[in-house]
Amino acid sequence: MRNSLFAVLLLASFAFAEDKKDEGFVDLFNGKDLAGWVPVQTAPSTWTIKDNMIICSGVPTGVLRTERMYENFILELEWRHLRPGGNAGVFIWSDPVCSRGQPFTRSIEVQVLDGKGGDWYTTHGDVFPIHGATMKPDNPGKSGSRSYPTEKRSNMSPEWNKYRIECVDGKLELSVNGKMVTSGRDCNPRKGYIGLESEGGLVHWKNIRIKELPASKTPLKPEQIANADEGFISLYNGVDLTGWVKDEKNADHWKAKDWTLDYDGKGGDLWSEKEYGDFVLIADWRWSGKPQKAQLPVILASGEQALDAEGKPKTVEVDEAGDSGIYLRGSSKSQVNIWNWPIGSGEVYGYRTDASMSAEVRAGVTPKVNADAKIGSWNRFIITMKGDRLTVDLNGKIVLENAQLPGVAKTGRIALQNHGAPIQFANIYIKELK
């Protein structure tokens, strides 16, 4: 009797300890839908729900993130790869939209990899900063920034694995199937969103829950906090051209190729189905054709073409890969140019060359600086349209600021221009302004 009572008390104490251990956890996934989660630039088919699991198809490459930010916390989740050799990840302290020219967000990545390994990565819980994030690895090996697991503990496909990720004051510790094996410190950012990565692997996720911990006693600096969600919505889903006007002449010319939208230089302009008034548009682009030498015009700050000593239009030799642009408010005249002219991309040719416009207007739509990346590298436009005023940020530099477009329509569709040159677009987001 006494032994039986002792056993009961012992079991009760274990149960109490487990209850205390689980205290404070809340579900991040309700098992029914994606409430509380935001697809960053993926399709509805990328993330589906079945049997209390989030099922990731792996197509396109991209991210599903939480609606809100977290600073200090313990995250627990279970995952399994259904295809041997699959790839995925968990993003910690993530930005809300993808980094320039990347299908992923700035964050600290916790690797979710099956059956692979090489000279610089493993299958058992690597942790590393990506796309501008920073971290000091506690077990760096030869990588410099990647922290490697001290023990092989992950199960191969199709078995389940459990991750426990503890994040406190910029330090991250990863436990794989019950034991802490990887850590890093001095992480930046150290407050942000939590994301699940789609990268080709067919992955199941379940039992995703979080326990928030007290915030840092020292207020975080701005650079230690991820960018905030500003309400941007993706206009390209990486699978098809949903949201864009279907045009027979564009068939097989504008192609959804995973996270990039490829154009071969043939066909016509690609127009959005929806019209927009005031907005902020993010669009990444890069030239995909082979550059050639060309003599191109030199444009002055006034918007006029420079003349040589003989009074003839001045040109200089540059590498040229083509011509394209983004139409605003349904008109080719209000086009933000993409080209290789010495003045740089971002100008509004239709207004700059319109002799009926005032000198102030023509100068205003002329780029203040050439901010283009090297041909073949990714560029990012941030285009703000408010009323008849346009501001263009190219690669972090303001090339047009509050330029006036007299007579521009109040609303209209957006288009990616056909001008006979191959080009790629990616990370196309829009935020409508009220």
Does position 186 have pLDDT exceeding 60, yes or no? yes
Q: How confident is the model at residue 145 (pLDDT cuts 50, 70, 90)?
A: very high
Does position 143 have pLDDT exceeding 80, yes or no? no
Q: How confident is the model at residue 20 (pLDDT cuts 50, 70, 90)?
A: low
pLDDT tens-place string over residues 227-248: 999 999 999 999 999 999 999 8
Mean pLDDT of 392-413: 98
| Host H or E run for residue 14 | helix 2-22
Can you give the CATH number for the domain in which 398 is found? Answer: 2.60.120.560
pLDDT tens-place string over residues 364-384: 999 999 999 999 999 999 999
CB-CB neighbours of 317 under 10 Å: 10
In a domain, 351, yes or no: yes
Return the pLDDT at 9.
47
Domain total in the chain: 2
Q: Residue 277's closest CA among 408, 382, 426, 428? A: 408
Decide which of 177, 202, 227 is a domain's last residue: 227
Whether 212 and 312 map to the same domain: the answer is: no
Q: What is the 3-state secondary structure (H, E, C) of 356-394?
A: CCCHHHHHHCCCCCCCCCCCCCCEEEEEEEECCEEEEEE
Return the pLDDT at 8.
47
Whether 243 and 152 map to the same domain: the answer is: no
Q: Residue 149's closest CA among 111, 181, 115? A: 181
Return the pLDDT at 162.
98
- State the Cα–Cα distance between residues 130 and 107, nearest whole angstrom: 6
Does position 215 have pLDDT exceeding 60, yes or no? yes
End-to-end CA distance of the chain: give it in Å, rounded.
74
Return the pLDDT at 3.
54
Share the mean pLDDT of the chain.
Answer: 94
In a domain, 10, yes or no: no
Mean pLDDT of 303-312: 94
Whether 241 and 92 map to the same domain: the answer is: no
Does position 19 have pLDDT exceeding 90, yes or no? no
Share of the chain above pLDDT 70, in %: 95
In a domain, 180, yes or no: yes
Does position 14 have pLDDT exceeding 90, yes or no? no
Q: Residue 190's closest CA among 228, 216, 229, 164? A: 216
Q: How confident is the model at residue 21 (pLDDT cuts 50, 70, 90)?
A: low
Does position 7 have pLDDT exceeding 80, yes or no? no
CA distances from 60 to 43, 75, 233, 326, 389 (A): 8, 25, 16, 24, 35
Whether 262 and 162 map to the same domain: the answer is: no
Whether 203 and 80 map to the same domain: the answer is: yes
Q: How would you classify residue 373: left for phi > 0, otherwise alpha for psi between -120 and 50, otherwise beta? A: beta
Which residues, in sequence order, are bridge partners of residue 183?
A: 173
Decide which of 227, 248, 282 is a domain's last residue: 227
Amino acid letter, 351? Y
CA distances from 392 to 33, 282, 397, 406 (A): 38, 10, 8, 17
Whether 178 and 287 map to the same domain: the answer is: no
Mean pLDDT of 82-109: 97
Return the pLDDT at 120.
87
Q: How confident is the model at residue 4 (pLDDT cuts 50, 70, 90)?
A: low
Structure tokens that stand for 30 in this block: 């309700």
Whether 124 and 98 map to the same domain: the answer is: yes
Q: Dump strand ranges (E) for 95-141.
A: 107-113, 127-130, 134-137
Does position 110 have pLDDT exceeding 50, yes or no? yes
| Preceding amide of 103 cis, omega within 30 | no
pLDDT tens-place string over residues 422-432: 999 999 999 99
In a domain, 273, yes or no: yes
Whether 178 and 257 map to the same domain: the answer is: no
- State the Cα–Cα distance between residues 199 and 68, nearest whole angstrom: 23
| Host H or E run for residue 431 | strand 423-432
Decide which of 163, 197, 227 is a domain's last residue: 227
In a domain, 86, yes or no: yes
In a domain, 322, yes or no: yes
In a domain, 3, yes or no: no
Whether 192 and 249 map to the same domain: the answer is: no
In a domain, 81, yes or no: yes
Whether 250 and 183 map to the same domain: the answer is: no
Whether 187 and 323 map to the same domain: the answer is: no
Return the pLDDT at 23.
86
Mean pLDDT of 171-194: 98
Residues comprising the chain, all counted: 434
- Please tell me the pTM assigned to this model: 0.92
pLDDT tens-place string over residues 335-354: 999 999 999 999 999 999 99
Residue pointed to by tokens 């600086």: 369
* Domain, as residue range, for 356: 234-432
Whether 317 and 398 map to the same domain: the answer is: yes
Return the pLDDT at 141.
80
